[in-house]
Amino acid sequence: MVRFLTRYREPLIVGALLVYPLVSYLSSGHRGREPNFADRLILAISSPVQAACTWAFNGVGRAASGYVALKGAHEEAQECRASLAEAHAAVNALKEAEAENARLKAALGYVEATVDQEIVARVIGLNPTAQFQSIRINRGEDQGVRPGMPVLTPDGVVGQVVRSVGGSADVMLLTDASSRVGAVLQRTRVRATVTGLGDGRRLSLNLVRREEDTRDGDEVVTSGTDGIFPPGLHVGTVHDVGRPAVGMFLTATVKPAVDLARVEEVLVIPVALTLPAAAVTR
Amino acid sequence: MKFLAFTGLALLLLSVESVVVKFLGLEVTRIDVGLALVVFVALRATTVEGAFTAFAAGYLLDAFTGRPTGLYPFLAVLTFLLVRAAGQVVDGRSRGGYALFVAAATFGHALLALFFGWLTARQGGGAGSALAGVPLQVLLSTVAGVALFPLLKRIEPGDHPEPGGLR
């Protein structure tokens, strides 16, 4: 036995290095494992490097574009003033709607789940493999980020946290092939499921019946039915609506509301679901 | 010692790469710097040391994905063995030869990753759309490999790997 092991030492070692991860992969599939000590160590070392590189790249980018940005600053400022005035008017209208919303919720007996302060995080890196679409942020377990928490920007939904260790976390983007979001079409209130296509640019609108009035340009928002994303968050805009000759459902793609390849700052939302009282009190 | 140097370098390169691809705004294209390292050790290092280095590079890549499954260590060691076998037939120790090996390995690695992703994903895993990024990925990885070549050569100058693949 010892002679056998000694004689075939190299093939045995290489074989073990080949077979062990394959068995691990086939047994866990696409789900992935919980972070172990080695994973935590790797992330603890790499996150500061990524943060430093991000800082350096941002600095160089800002310096290069600084002078260019000054050109036309006056015109831009005037445009901003005009936009601000419009925004003030819109905010006033929304305040009215919010007050009305609160009255209606009180009348219906809705229960607001506790919403802690959202966590502001900076994107420090992209996943270096193309098969999983995810980003790394500079807030993690230590700051209260937990797997499953929704991540967004003021423009809309980014994705959800899939792993959180120490001072960093990984966020699966909406465009990942494993991503599923419960959604509703804002104009028609038709429910749908939005799935990632894995190409980094588009999402797929699923489970919408072909006879529904769905058009290019319809806005898609979260429905809150998936238990992860709070309702009413902007997901994207419907494109390429098609009604195949056979089948119950129409086909359409959704352009994400957020430019996921260039997102820099995000908000992580600690559980923020709003549920009817009847759903939480039995 | 060389194993540690290569692993440390792989960790550094992957950290930098994850930032660079973000700033370039790449969606499904990546720069396979870890693979360039695997190809290099396959062509120059001893079998056991090279296999451990390939495993470590794959493990690091796996850890960076956010959902480590074991796929990338497996693919890295498989690539190591295939490149090593091909290296017995075609000389890949010059800069040009090495670049060709990196290009071929990146292409094969990307296809295998897509295949295994498709095998285990619930709805095809977006394999078709991800294929669009492969040509640019091959180009960028080859350029990165060529740029890294002098540095890698300083760590492992080994011009005489033992003959006969695993023997």
Question: pLDDT tens digit string along B68-116?
Answer: 888 999 999 999 999 999 998 888 888 899 999 999 999 999 999 888 8
Average pLDDT of chain A is: 84
Give residue A9's identity as a one-letter amino acid code.
R
What would the pLDDT profile of A3-50 be if each residue is shown by its tens digit? 888 888 888 999 999 999 999 888 876 677 788 899 899 999 999 999
Element holding B130 (H helix, E strand): helix B127-130
Domain of residue B119 covers 2-156
User: A42 vs chain B: nearest CA distance in angstroms?
Assistant: 7
CA angle A119, B28, A178 (to 5 degrees): 60
Nearest C-alpha in A relative to B165: A11
CA A243 from chain center: how many Å? 28
Question: Is residue B67 over pLDDT 60?
Answer: yes
Per-residue pLDDT averaged across A257-278, rounded? 74
Q: Which residue has the higher pLDDT, A252 or A278?
A: A252
| Rounded distance between C-alpha atoms, residue A259 and residue A282, angstroms | 42
Residue A143 DSSP one-character state:
G
Question: Is residue A170 over pLDDT 90?
Answer: yes
Q: Which residues of A touch B41 (CB under 8 A)?
A: none
The CATH number assigned to the domain holding B43 equals 1.10.1760
Q: Taking the CA atoms of chain A, what radius of gyration do you get in angstroms?
A: 24
B59 touches chain A (CB under 8 A): yes
Cβ contacts of A234-239, under 8 Å, gap ≥ 24: A234/A155, A234/A156, A234/A157, A235/A156, A235/A157, A235/A174, A235/A181, A235/A183, A235/A194, A235/A203, A236/A156, A236/A174, A236/A194, A236/A203, A238/A185, A238/A205, A238/A214, A239/A202
Is residue B164, in this structure, part of any structural domain at all?
no
Q: Is A21 in Cβ contact with B55 (below 8 Å)? A: yes
Q: Which residues of A touch B116 (CB under 8 A)?
A: 25
Instruction: For residue B136, count other CB atoms closer than 10 A to its CB.
Output: 14
Question: Is residue A172 over pLDDT 90?
Answer: yes
Q: Which of A17, A25, A125 is the closest to B69 by Cβ?
A: A25
| Rounded distance between C-alpha atoms, residue B14 and residue B50, angstroms | 19
Q: Which pairing describes strands A150-153 and A219-222: parallel, antiparallel, or unpaired? A: unpaired
Nearest C-alpha in B relative to A204: B126
Q: Which residues of B touch A134 (CB under 8 A)?
A: 65-67
In CATH, A118-274 is 3.20.20.150: no
Is residue B165, in this structure, part of any structural domain at all?
no
Is residue B162, in this structure, part of any structural domain at all?
no
CA angle A229, A232, A235 (to 5 degrees): 70
Q: Is B61 in Cβ contact with A128 (below 8 Å)? A: yes
| Rounded distance between C-alpha atoms, residue A161 and residue A171, angstroms | 4
Nearest C-alpha in B relative to A45: B11
Question: Is residue A93 over pLDDT 80?
Answer: no
Q: Which residues of B touch A28 (CB under 8 A)?
A: 69-70
Is residue B104, in this structure, part of any structural domain at all?
yes
A59 touches chain B (CB under 8 A): no
Q: Which residues of B touch A262 (CB under 8 A)?
A: 22, 25
Residue A198 DSSP one-character state:
S
Per-residue pLDDT averaged across B58-67, rounded? 90
CA A31 from chain center: how many Å? 17
Taking only residues 104 to 143 of chain B, the set having a beta carbon closer than 8 angstroms to any beta carbon of chain A reads 110, 113-114, 116-117, 120-127, 129-130, 132-133, 137
Q: Which residues of A touch B122 (CB under 8 A)?
A: 30, 178
Average pLDDT of chain B is: 86
At residue A109, the pLDDT reads 65
Work out how many domains chain B is built from and give that number. 1
Q: Is B67 in Cβ contact with A131 (below 8 Å)? A: no
Under the banding of pLDDT at 50, 70 and 90, the label for residue A281 is very low
Nearest C-alpha in B relative to A124: B19
Element holding A218 (H helix, E strand): none
Contact between A191 and A223 under an 8 Å Cβ cutoff? The reply is yes
Is residue B167, in this structure, part of any structural domain at all?
no
At residue A72, the pLDDT reads 74
Contact between B21 and B30 under an 8 Å Cβ cutoff? The reply is yes
Contact between A138 and A167 under an 8 Å Cβ cutoff? The reply is yes
ipTM over 0.90: no
Domain residue spans of chain A: 118-274
Taking only residues 163 to 202 of chain A, the set having a beta carbon closer than 8 angstroms to any beta carbon of chain B reads 163, 170-172, 175, 177-178, 195-202
Which of A76-90, A217-231, B73-87, B88-102 is least confident? A76-90
At residue A149, the pLDDT reads 93
Q: Which residues of B touch A17 (CB under 8 A)?
A: 51-52, 54-55, 73, 77
Q: Is B117 in Cβ contact with A30 (below 8 Å)? A: yes
Q: Which of A46, A134, A262 is the closest to B65 by Cβ?
A: A134
* pTM score, whole prediction: 0.80
Is residue B161, in this structure, part of any structural domain at all?
no
| Rounded distance between C-alpha atoms, residue B64 and residue B43, angstroms | 25
Question: Is residue A160 over pLDDT 90?
Answer: yes
Is residue B145, in this structure, part of any structural domain at all?
yes
